[in-house]
Chain A
Amino acid sequence: MRRARLLGRTAGLSGLLALSGTALAHGASLGGRDASAADVPTWLVLLTGGAVVGASFLLASFATDRAFVRALHEWRYPITLPRAPLAWLGRALGLAALAVVVVGGLLGPDDPTQNAAILFVWVGWWAGLVMVAYLAGDVWHTVDPARTVARALPDGRWTLPAGVGAWPSVAALLALVFVEVVSPLADDPTLLVAAVGGYLLLSLAGAAAVGADWFERVDPVARVFRTYGRVAPLRRTEDGLALCLPGAALVDATLSDGDVAFVIALLWGTTFDGLVATPGWADAAAPVLDAGVPARALYLGTLVAGFLAFYAAYRGAARATRRTAPTYAAAGAVARRFAASLLPIAAGYHLAHYLDYFLGLSPSLASAAVAPLSPEPLVLVVPGWFEVVALFAVLLGHVLAVAVAHAVAFDTFPGRMQAVRSQYPLTAVMVCYTVVSLWIVSQPSATPPGL
């Protein structure tokens, strides 16, 4: 919804641009990737998507040479970067961007398409920097201004209890998704600056209380970027950085139960954000809202219920793996082992959701960086065929997920046939999820009702 509102408005304002007619049409049907360009009915697109994921599982089962599978995910090419200067540069850029957000947000125009805070946070950070995280690596770790300032603080006074693991950040992530969906943070620069400032203060207070554990275990934003960063074809090694195949770092990722829930929350959060902007949701929510249920209660209820349903589906698949493989590995252990393979799906979905939005508004973003107080509402007109890129991003994410799950299975189970069979339940879940997410991506975007 945010992207539709912002781009739609920018497109409307950019009447002076030569192709504004197309821009307007595109802005209005931003979510309308109903594949009409190719004249294929939606049901067939969804069915094809599900079949591609299923077929990639079948194809992966032809790669059963252990040495080959291992060689693929262990391949790396060490690269050397001047890390200290880059770190200083990143921190300086982070602080400068924060200054632009605060100053531009408060003193710049109120119009969201011409406000540096809105453009920096939603276009530059939530769309652009997250893409950088899964395409290149977690840069936020260095850029995060809260972390930069917190470096000057003394170590935390208290320590978090060991038992809580990553669960605080799971709750915090769901809370963040809720606030993002129900509040006008995407339209109101003053509110956005207040939210950024509040989050900064909260982070500093957290860092003062529990030290670096705040960013490692509680802060959902740091964890989102770190989690996405695992998908990137760049990984940390003992002596610096190395290139690897995309997703290769996921094969030997060791996750806790909380991490598993966080991965699921990330996946569901992105899905929920897209779901509430579909006409189908508007139709389904209308009678509930008419019956007198408060809108926020409905959104919160759906958010939590959906998360629990996704989590239950994944745990159910992990339990079913014990039978299909067969294996005596505990269901929880299977769930922890395979959860990282879901991350390429979340990344593909994010790319589908935000790539045209990011490209479309990147001229505005550049203008905001140069002139924070008076950015030009420039918009790049993304051609219509670009909608196909979104569908491919979703599919590519799923195919990569299947490949990672395949490598994990071969790493975990001694029998090759056992490794193939262990993936039946998870593949079934992935096929269902592909169909659901392609359906959401293919829907025209509507304003969520009741907010």
Chain B
Amino acid sequence: MIDQHAPDDAPTCDRCGDAFPTADLLALHRGHAHDALSEDERAAFEAAREADTESLRLFRLQALGALVLLYFGFLMAYAVVT
């Protein structure tokens, strides 16, 4: 665990005391860092991972768009300048 500054009511891991800004992050932490999850914790972990994958998918699309823009932007900049 690394040093933390967390509000008192933050979702906190009952095993190691780490606090997380969202319940989803806590669920992900439990799944990655600890063994012997209960039925509920396992379900929360799967759901959080699903949501994480979904937002990653969106981010990747945006990243791809940004890369394409960068690529063609520079292609044109080089074509005009040199």
A residues contacting B by CB (< 8 A) are: 38-41, 44, 47-48, 51, 54-55, 58-59, 61-62, 64, 66, 325-330, 332-333, 337, 412-418, 420
- Binary contact readout B38-82 vs A (1 if CB under 8 angstroms, 0 otherwise): 000000000010001101100110010011001000100110011
Task: Write out the residue numbers on chain A whose beta carbons fall within 8 Å of the beta carbon of B2.
Answer: 329-330, 333, 337, 412
Q: Give the docked Cα–Cα distance between A418 and B29 (Å).
A: 12
Known: A61-B63, A417-B52. A41 touches B4 (CB 8 A): no
B58 to chain A, nearest CB (A): 9
Known: A39-B82, A330-B4. A414 touches B29 (CB 8 A): yes
From the candidates A62, A325, A333, A337, name the one contacting B60 in the complex (CB within 8 A). A62
Question: Can you pick out 17 interface pairs between chain A and chain B where the beta carbons lie within 8 Å of each other?
Answer: A38-B82, A44-B78, A51-B70, A61-B59, A62-B60, A62-B63, A325-B21, A328-B5, A330-B5, A333-B3, A412-B2, A415-B24, A415-B25, A416-B52, A416-B56, A417-B55, A417-B59
A406 to chain B, nearest CB (A): 13
Main SS at interface, chain B: helix
B77 to chain A, nearest CB (A): 6
Task: Write out the residue numbers on chain B whose beta carbons fall within 8 Å of the beta carbon of A38.
Answer: 82
Known: A61-B60, A416-B56. A329 touches B4 (CB 8 A): yes
The reply to whether B59 and A328 contact each other, CB–CB distance below 8 Å, is no
* List of 8 A-B pairs having minimum Cβ-Cβ separation, nearest first: A328-B6, A414-B29, A414-B28, A330-B3, A333-B2, A333-B3, A58-B63, A326-B21
Residues of B in contact, count (CB < 8 Å): 33
A348 to chain B, nearest CB (A): 21
Beyond known contacts A327-B20, A414-B32: 19 more, CB 8 A cutoff: A38-B82, A40-B78, A44-B81, A51-B74, A58-B63, A59-B67, A62-B63, A326-B22, A328-B4, A328-B5, A328-B10, A330-B2, A337-B2, A412-B2, A415-B25, A416-B53, A417-B55, A417-B56, A417-B59
The verdict on B36 contacting chain A, using a C-beta distance below 8 Å, is no
Main SS at interface, chain A: helix
Q: Considering only CB atoms, which chain A residue lies closest to B2 in the complex? A: A333
Residue among A64, A329, A420 with max Cβ neighbours from chain B (10 Å): A329
Task: Write out the residue numbers on chain A whose beta carbons fall within 8 Å of the beta carbon of B70.
Answer: 51, 54-55
The reply to whether B67 and A332 contact each other, CB–CB distance below 8 Å, is no
Q: Considering only CB atoms, which chain A residue lies closest to B11 in the complex? A: A328
Q: Give the docked Cα–Cα distance between A44 and B60 (Å).
A: 27
The reply to whether B28 and A55 contact each other, CB–CB distance below 8 Å, is no
Q: Give the docked Cα–Cα distance between A416 and B55 (Å).
A: 9
Task: Write out the residue numbers on chain B whose beta carbons fall within 8 Å of the beta carbon of A413.
Answer: 25
The reply to whether B82 and A328 contact each other, CB–CB distance below 8 Å, is no
The reply to whether A55 and B29 contact each other, CB–CB distance below 8 Å, is no
B31 to chain A, nearest CB (A): 8
Q: Give the docked Cα–Cα distance between A104 and B56 (Å).
A: 62
From the candidates B19, B48, B53, B77, name the one contacting A328 in the complex (CB within 8 A). B19
Task: Write out the residue numbers on chain B whose beta carbons fall within 8 Å of the beta carbon of A44.
Answer: 77-78, 81
Residue among A38, A326, A327 with max Cβ neighbours from chain B (10 Å): A327
The reply to whether B82 and A40 contact each other, CB–CB distance below 8 Å, is yes
Task: Write out the residue numbers on chain A whose beta carbons fall within 8 Å of the beta carbon of B33.
Answer: 414
